[in-house]
């Protein structure tokens, strides 16, 4: 995709090359009181003695400040920032760099056009919600007019515990978030603190959502998303931390889910089927209900994660979907089971998992398969001589067997299961003194 529009730079060349990870460095940058930015910037924004200022790429005070440059109120951070964004959009895009400081927002920041990068200087750059400002940072696209190539990086969003979303995005293709923290948002009403709808190719790196008072993150139809590195949790009682809904092809890797008020992560379906979501290398601790819930959908992969129930979570993973692979995970300290299968769980493959929980699996599902789970013995076999009456034989499985098979060592042994098996024994009757073989499977 090409972007023929150019924005001016001090070397006279203009810039027309940019992508969603970086805006190409073709100029020397700009400097304001010792702060040098090495990428081409449309504006630097700062708090200068209580007045917010936007400095253009040539070093000119353009908006705000004590003199209300550009007829923009220098006391109003949102007004100064939005003026800089609108001007940047008119140039065809660019970066707006925010110096260290607190930017108290009584109105939302909104991006409505392509190729805009908001960059801070780490967690010391803080956008603070003042009152119930709805969609504090708002990325506004539509199906008819999506916006392209938006980057948010290196800042913190601090909420006012109000029932209003702090970061909102719709129809942004692609959207990149890097080294951003969202904290102290929400009012425990079931409305997510961060929400994205149809933001295709959403990439989140080192994205933290902690100490919020509601659902932390809600992804709706965000196809081909990735979330790599970050933390989420410590939410209000009763609220699931992260929802992935109606989304195909996404991955969550290396994220820590801590102390969720409900589930740590819910993969579910509303209007469309959720498909092919991978959760890998993550740490789940102390979720009130369950670490991961795969309520419905198709083809989820849950691999190489660590689930610490901390004697609080009932289950490590709950599955009620089709074609879920649970592979190479570790489970400790769950009060119910490591893995719980709902009545609609179909074609679940459970392989190479390790658990110290007293119950590894609850529920059966349909066509569930097990392979090489060290803590869960799913197959055993042996041989015995019949006694002419019912004999109780220890099967050594981790649960009551679902299937029992017999073979006759002596052709007249005639073995059969004469009573319902228990969690420890099978009940077999065979001809007295005649040998038979048996095999039991969960």
Written as one string, the DSSP assignment of 225-285 is EEEEEEEEE---TT--SEEEES-EEEEEEEEEEES-SS-SEEEE-SSS--EEEEEES-EEE
Written as one string, the DSSP assignment of 187-217 is -SSS--SEEEES-TTEEEEEEEEES-SS--E
* pLDDT band, very low/low/confident/very high, at 236 (cuts 50, 70, 90): low
Indicate whether 23 belongs to any domain. no
CB 394 within 8 A of CB 425: yes
Indicate whether 334 belongs to any domain. yes
Q: Looking at the structure, tell me whether residues 213 and 343 fall in a common domain.
A: yes
CB 171 within 8 A of CB 146: yes
* pLDDT band, very low/low/confident/very high, at 235 (cuts 50, 70, 90): low
* pLDDT band, very low/low/confident/very high, at 38 (cuts 50, 70, 90): very low
- Phi and psi (nearest 5°) for 135? 55, 65
DSSP 3-state of 89: helix
Q: Looking at the structure, tell me whether residues 367 and 383 fall in a common domain.
A: no
Q: Looking at the structure, tell me whether residues 290 and 311 fall in a common domain.
A: yes
Q: Looking at the structure, tell me whether residues 431 and 294 fall in a common domain.
A: no
Tell me which of 324, 340, 371 is where a domain ends. Answer: 371
Q: Looking at the structure, tell me whether residues 386 and 365 fall in a common domain.
A: no
- pTM (predicted TM-score): 0.82
Q: Looking at the structure, tell me whether residues 189 and 243 fall in a common domain.
A: yes
Indicate whether 29 belongs to any domain. no
In the 8-state DSSP scheme, what is residue 87? H
The whole-chain average pLDDT of the chain stands at 88
Predicted local distance difference test score (pLDDT) of residue 27: 30
Predicted local distance difference test score (pLDDT) of residue 35: 46
Q: Looking at the structure, tell me whether residues 204 and 338 fall in a common domain.
A: yes
DSSP 3-state of 180: strand
* pLDDT band, very low/low/confident/very high, at 308 (cuts 50, 70, 90): very high
Written as one string, the DSSP assignment of 360-373 is SEE---BS-EEE--
Indicate whether 189 belongs to any domain. yes
The rounded Cα 439 to chain-centroid distance in angstroms is: 42
Q: State which of 40-44, 86-90, 406-410 shows the largest mean pLDDT.
A: 86-90
Give how far Cα 154 sits from Cα of 55, 96, 130, 178, Å: 19, 12, 21, 6
4 pLDDT above the threshold of 50: no
Indicate whether 348 belongs to any domain. yes
Q: E strands along 145-190, which residues?
A: 150-158, 167-170, 175-183
Tell me which of 316, 351, 371 is where a domain ends. Answer: 371
Q: Looking at the structure, tell me whether residues 270 and 362 fall in a common domain.
A: yes
What is the 3-state composition of the chain as percent helix, strand, coil, each rounded to the nearest 5?
5, 50, 50
Indicate whether 347 belongs to any domain. yes
pLDDT digits (tens, 9 = 90+) for 418-439: 888 888 899 999 999 999 999 8
Higher per-residue confidence, 40 vs 141: 141
Instruction: Enter the tokens of residue 410.
Output: 């002596």
| Nearest Cα to Cα of residue 429 among 385, 383, 389, 382 | 389
Predicted local distance difference test score (pLDDT) of residue 233: 84
The span from the CA of 102 to the CA of 128, in Å, is 7
* pLDDT band, very low/low/confident/very high, at 14 (cuts 50, 70, 90): very low
Our count of domains for the chain comes to: 2
* pLDDT band, very low/low/confident/very high, at 187 (cuts 50, 70, 90): confident
Tell me which of 371, 389, 412 is where a domain ends. Answer: 371
Other C-beta atoms lying within 10 Å of the C-beta of residue 356:
12
163 pLDDT above the threshold of 60: yes
The span from the CA of 331 to the CA of 123, in Å, is 34
**Structural domain for 393, as ranges:** 379-441
79 pLDDT above the threshold of 70: yes
Could you tell me the CATH number of the domain that includes residue 241?
2.160.20.10
* pLDDT band, very low/low/confident/very high, at 90 (cuts 50, 70, 90): very high
């Amino acid at each position: 995709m090409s972007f023929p529009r150019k924005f001016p730079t001090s070397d006279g060349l203009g810039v027309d090359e940019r992508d969603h990870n970086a805006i190409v460095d073709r100029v020397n940058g700009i400097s304001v009181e010792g702060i040098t930015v090495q990428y081409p910037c449309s504006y630097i924004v700062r708090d200068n003695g209580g007045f917010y200022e936007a400095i253009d790429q040539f070093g000119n005070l353009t908006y705000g400040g004590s003199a209300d440059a550009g007829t923009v109120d220098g006391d109003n951070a949102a007004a100064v920032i939005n003026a800089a964004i609108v001007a940047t959009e008119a140039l065809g895009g660019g970066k707006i760099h925010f110096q260290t400081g607190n930017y108290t927002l009584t109105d939302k920041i909104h991006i409505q056009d392509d190729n805009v990068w908001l960059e801070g200087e780490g967690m010391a750059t803080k956008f603070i919600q003042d009152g119930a400002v709805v969609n504090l940072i708002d990325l506004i696209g539509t199906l008819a007019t999506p916006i392209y190539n938006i980057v948010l990086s290196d800042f913190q969003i601090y909420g006012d515990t109000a029932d209003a979303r702090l970061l909102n995005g719709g129809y942004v293709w692609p959207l990149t978030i890097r080294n951003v923290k969202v904290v102290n948002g929400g009012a425990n009403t079931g409305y997510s603190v961060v929400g994205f709808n149809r933001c295709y190719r959403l990439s989140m790196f080192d994205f933290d959502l902690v100490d919020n008072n509601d659902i932390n993150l809600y992804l709706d139809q965000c196809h081909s998303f990735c979330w790599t590195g970050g933390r989420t949790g410590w939410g209000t009682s009763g609220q699931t931390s992260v929802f992935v809904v109606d989304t195909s092809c996404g991955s969550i890797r290396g994220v820590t889910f801590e102390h969720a008020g409900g589930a740590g992560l819910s993969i579910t379906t509303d209007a469309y089927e959720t498909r092919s979501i991978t959760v890998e290398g993550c740490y789940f601790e102390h979720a009130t209900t369950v670490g991961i819930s795969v309520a419905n959908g198709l083809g989820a992969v849950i691999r190489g994660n660590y689930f610490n129930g901390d004697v609080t979570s009932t289950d490590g993973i709950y599955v009620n979907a089709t074609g879920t692979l649970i592979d190479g995970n570790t489970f400790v300290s769950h009060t119910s089971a490591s893995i719980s299968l709902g009545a609609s769980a179909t074609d679940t493959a459970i392989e190479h998992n390790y658990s110290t929980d007293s119950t590894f699996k609850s529920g059966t599902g349909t066509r569930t398969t097990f392979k090489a789970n060290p803590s869960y013995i799913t197959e055993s076999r042996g041989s015995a001589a019949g006694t002419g009456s019912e004999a109780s034989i220890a099967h050594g499985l981790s649960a009551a067997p679902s299937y029992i098979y017999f073979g006759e060592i002596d052709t007249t042994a005639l073995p059969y299961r004469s009573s319902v098996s228990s969690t420890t024994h099978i009940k077999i009757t065979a001809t007295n003194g005649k040998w038979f073989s048996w095999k039991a499977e969960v």
